[in-house]
Amino acid sequence: MTGLEIPAQFLIAYFLIHFRFIGMVFTFPLFAMAAMPMPFRYLIAVILTMASAPAVNSAMASHAIPLIFFDSAIAITVVVLREFLIGALLGLLASLPLVALQVTGEKAGMSMALAMANFMDPATQQQTSLIGQFVFMVGIWFYFRWNGHLLMVQAIVESLRIVPLASMYLMPVTDMGIGQWLTSLFSIGVRMVLPFYGTILLADVGLGFLARTVPQMNIFVLGLPLKIGLGFFVLMVALPLMVEFIFDHMEPWIAFAIMSATAWR
């Protein structure tokens, strides 16, 4: 009987880890773009599962999966949904630097009077800001440059050690860190967009004085290109600093996501 249980243990382990990778692939911005077809994203999850074979062996060596969980459809559903939620939580929380960068770009575009310059983003199939998408794509490129995708795969592998596979606890027992994630998203976004708001505010004050001293001048015609020009100048200066700021927050938020996954321990 033992000889039959050992292969079953490994097959079940691969099956459950596969759902963790599915949750991560379908929530993390590097993989969850709508431009990627659904079968292709699923194929990425399959490939990542196959590549994590050494981690499966080490996880199985320290934690045996009770096969009794797979005797009923309800138990299988609960266990599979738990693994999917763990992967989705890891992908969501670790994506904060990229989400903050996109929000910063959208707010900067609005301050530059480019709120009307929206277009259909092929990655998300939604109307998005031109500046926001540009900043986001720069962040995506640097995230790949810094091997952020490999760190996410490593985070899933590390979660196998911290949060063992196959448990019937569907609801998290502790705080998942969503509140801290939202708070940090707001604070990081505000810190990165402040140079744009400050520059545009000074431009509005200057235009106001100019309107009072030279009332014959059409301030609306002058103000629009002035704000756009100042916004692009600030973007040129601030974008390297924003990217460096995101780099400093990349690994800490991946570690935060792994620790938040312990809510299902």
pLDDT confidence of residue 118: 65
pLDDT confidence of residue 229: 86
The closest of 38, 45, 58, 42 to 17, measured between CA atoms, is 45
Quote the domain boundaries for residue 133: 2-113+122-264
- pTM equals 0.79
Do 70 and 12 meet the contact criterion of CB atoms below 8 Å apart?
yes
Q: State how many domains the chain has.
A: 1
Do 203 and 227 meet the contact criterion of CB atoms below 8 Å apart?
yes
Query: How many CB atoms are located within 10 Å of the residue 178 CB?
Result: 12
User: DSSP per residue over 144-156, as a string?
Assistant: HHTTHHHHHHHHH
What number is the average pLDDT over the span 1-22? 68
Return the top range by mean pLDDT from 20-29, 46-55, 69-78.
20-29
Average pLDDT, the chain: 78
Least confident stretch, 61-70, 140-149, 175-184: 61-70
pLDDT confidence of residue 1: 37
- Write out pLDDT tens, residues 195-253: 888 888 888 888 888 878 877 777 777 778 888 888 888 888 888 888 888 888 888 88
- Write out pLDDT tens, residues 62-77: 555 555 556 667 777 7
Q: Does 120 score more than 80 pLDDT?
A: no
Q: Does 4 score more than 50 pLDDT?
A: no
Q: Does 95 score more than 50 pLDDT?
A: yes
Q: Does 127 score more than 50 pLDDT?
A: yes
